[in-house]
């Protein structure tokens, strides 16, 4: 681990004390990384440099996701690197990917201000891209560089985004073994799994009727949660999974916890995810 002051390794054993509790007095930037991740190696020195410039007003916690898989799962890490800012005991914001130093400083300045005598850098303008444009661009890049399998994974995710599950599955199946367990691949796999679960499932009125008759019909509640999730009512779907976790944690080999983690990986509402992740954690720990 780095010898830089204010940088430390975070594990399941010390996370509550060194990150959550410590953030009540000093904000903590949490870097989820892995040794095999090229962008992580680019971002790591930048984070250490920026944190060092805060002269003790900010700490950096490094989480090796290969060694701390459960911790990464609880945070729903989808890709590496992922950086989360914890302040006052709460996860308040984050970003994915290896940002340049200026954008890292701008991100921090929004929440904790800039280091003394330093002005925040101007963020680079974001260029919006439609799903169709993304797919077209990725197809060209795949054709030009067929050996870059990560582009095929990005293409599979883009195809799933527009609802072309069959094409997404085809791209997913063609990925090499080293990408099969990538966070993006897991997200896509969870999306496809949710779609398959409902293939022959009862409709929503039938599931609600079953629960009205027997509130402990966990199978019906589980399917209702998936239906609500895929119908766009994510909070209601997560509530159903939490109900099972609270009343029958061991049901179906801990299916409720697995559903929640899978749901976190496919949702994009970070505020909603943070709220329900904390509710899940309060039931588990």
- 211 DSSP assignment: H
Which pLDDT score is estimated for 47?
Answer: 95
User: Which residue has 């949490």 as its token pair?
Assistant: 30
- C-alpha–C-alpha distance, residues 163 and 34, integer Å: 31
Angle subtended at Cα 214 by Cα 213 and Cα 217, rounded to the nearest 5 degrees = 135
Which pLDDT score is estimated for 152?
Answer: 83
The yes-or-no answer on residue 37 being catalytic is yes
- 121 DSSP assignment: P
The yes-or-no answer on residue 189 being catalytic is no
pTM for the model stands at 0.48
Distance from chain centroid for Cα 200: 29
Tokens describing residue 98: 């290896």
Cis check: omega of the bond before 74, within 30 degrees of 0: no
Catalytic residue among 40, 160, 260, 263: 40
The CATH fold assigned to 204-284 is 1.25.40
Q: Which residues, 6 or more positions from 74, have their beta carbon under 8 angstroms from its beta carbon?
A: 261, 277, 280, 281
Q: At the fourth CATH level, which superfamily is domain 7-112?
A: Glutaredoxin (3.40.30.10)
- C-alpha–C-alpha distance, residues 74 and 68, integer Å: 10
Tokens describing residue 127: 């260029």
Nearest to 243 by CA among 202, 279, 193, 191: 279
Domain ranges (residues) in the chain: 7-112, 131-180, 204-284
Q: Do domains 7-112 and 204-284 have the same CATH topology?
A: no
- C-alpha–C-alpha distance, residues 155 and 269, integer Å: 22
* Strand positions, DSSP E, the chain: 7-9, 28-33, 59-64, 82-87, 90-96
Catalytic residue among 37, 58, 104, 234: 37
- C-alpha–C-alpha distance, residues 60 and 52, integer Å: 9
Q: What is the pLDDT along the chain (285 residues), one digit of tens a residue?
A: 444 568 999 999 999 999 999 999 999 999 999 999 999 999 999 999 999 999 889 999 999 999 999 888 888 888 899 999 999 888 888 999 999 999 999 999 998 888 865 545 555 565 677 888 899 999 999 899 888 888 888 888 788 777 787 888 888 888 887 777 777 777 788 888 887 888 788 999 999 999 999 999 999 999 999 999 988 899 999 999 999 999 999 999 999 999 999 898 888 888 899 899 999 988 887
Tokens describing residue 21: 């509790």
* Strand positions, DSSP E, 125-280: none
Nearest to 159 by CA among 179, 184, 128: 184
- C-alpha–C-alpha distance, residues 104 and 101, integer Å: 5
Which pLDDT score is estimated for 1?
Answer: 43
């Amino acid at each position: 681990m780095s010898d830089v002051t204010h940088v430390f390794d975070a594990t399941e054993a010390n996370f509550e004390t060194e990150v959550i509790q410590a953030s009540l007095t000093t904000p903590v930037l949490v870097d989820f990384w892995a040794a095999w991740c090229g962008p992580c190696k680019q971002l790591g020195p930048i984070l250490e440099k920026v944190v060092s410039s805060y002269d003790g007003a900010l700490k950096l916690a490094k989480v090796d996701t290969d060694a701390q898989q459960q911790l990464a799962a609880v945070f729903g890490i989808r890709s590496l690197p992922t950086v989360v800012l914890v302040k006052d005991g709460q996860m308040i914001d984050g970003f994915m990917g290896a940002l340049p130093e200026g954008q890292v400083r701008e991100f921090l300045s929004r929440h904790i201000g800039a280091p003394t005598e330093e002005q925040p850098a101007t963020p680079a303008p974001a260029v919006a891209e439609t799903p169709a444009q993304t797919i077209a661009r990725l197809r060209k890049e795949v054709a030009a560089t067929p050996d870059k399998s990560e582009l095929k994974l990005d293409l599979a995710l883009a195809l799933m985004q527009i609802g072309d599950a069959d094409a997404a599955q085809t791209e997913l199946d063609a990925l090499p073994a080293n990408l099969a367990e990538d966070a993006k691949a897991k997200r896509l796999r969870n999306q496809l799994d949710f779609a398959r679960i409902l293939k022959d499932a009862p409709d929503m009125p039938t599931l609600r009727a079953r629960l009205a008759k027997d509130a402990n019909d966990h199978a019906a509640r589980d399917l209702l949660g998936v239906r609500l999730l895929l119908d766009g009512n994510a909070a209601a779907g997560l509530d159903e999974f939490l109900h099972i976790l609270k009343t029958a944690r061991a049901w179906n080999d801990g299916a409720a916890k697995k559903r929640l983690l899978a749901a976190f990986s496919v949702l994009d509402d970070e505020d909603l995810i943070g709220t329900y992740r904390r509710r899940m954690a309060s039931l588990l720990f």
